[in-house]
Amino acid sequence: MKRKKLFFTAAVLLFAASLPLAAQETAEAIVRSSRNRISAATVSSRSQMTISARDGRTTARRLDQYSKDGPKGSRTVVIFIDPPSVRNTRFLTVETGNGASDQWIFMPDAGKVRRIAASGGGESFVGTDLSYDDVSSADRDPALDTHTLLREENLNGKPCYVVESKPLDGSYQYSKMVQWIGRQDKVAYKLELYDRKGNHAKTLEILELKNVQGRLSPVKTRMSTLAAGTNTLITVERLEYDSNIPDSVFTTSFLETGKPK
């Protein structure tokens, strides 16, 4: 399994247009190396999400996340533990090949599994600043986008490539993504997300990294929604690579029962 993160500046277009073709061709390689920089058969984590409103009020969610390679790509299940209002809410995303994925969610109040339509990928994920698409964005196939190397610059003292990615499919919730990828470590330290009207809608930032089992891993990440003035801080409390996770965890049956077979 190749994973970039545990969960997710205006483009200088004139400069990008002036870059030689060879430089533009390396942009996809930069993005691919960033998303594939951590290799693991499975990933298990426990995290806390702290959601901050514009007025400063906060709410918290604690959740477990499990990921594993599947026949056609990665599979991820998210299980909410606290607070009681979202406890036992379970979410599953399964890649089906060619960059596509199927998604389902189990809401205890409804008592049944609901499949999330492709058109619903932009909806808020359990009241956070992340959408359903954002949750699985770490595994987005670079071949689904066109990539342009805009420039190189320092971000918080780290030399970075600044790469613009535009989806080939107009059904994706974002019209473009601009990310700052470390030249040496290939960590995507910052990602700006633009809505279909071209407005800067969200910013994802990696705030803290930690060496876990020899892998440089994000342990504190923040997603901000600019228009709403809200943000969601994701703090990883426990992280483990290559543990044994049964395949039955990545099924709709598990979503309903919470018990692997």
pLDDT reported for residue 141: 83
Beta strands in the chain (DSSP E): 2-3, 38-39, 42-52, 58-70, 73-82, 90-97, 100-107, 112-116, 145-155, 158-167, 176-182, 188-194, 200-212, 215-225, 230-241
pLDDT higher than threshold 70 for residue 21: no
Q: What is the pLDDT of residue 221?
A: 96
CATH number of 2-64+121-244: 2.50.20.10
Which has the higher per-residue pLDDT, 114 or 21?
114
pLDDT number for residue 216: 94
pLDDT on residue 63: 95
- 75-79, 119-123, 202-206 — which is least confidently predicted? 119-123
**Domain parsing of the chain, residue ranges:** 2-64+121-244
pLDDT band of 9, cuts 50, 70, 90: very low
User: Residue 188 pLDDT more than 70?
Assistant: yes
Average pLDDT over residues 141-146: 89
Give the chain's mean pLDDT. Answer: 86
pLDDT for 120 equals: 61
| Per-residue pLDDT tens digits for 77-101 | 999 999 999 999 999 999 887 767 8
Which of these, 133, 222, 127, lies nearest to 171 by C-alpha position? 133
- Predicted confidence (pLDDT) at residue 217 exceeds the cutoff of 90: yes
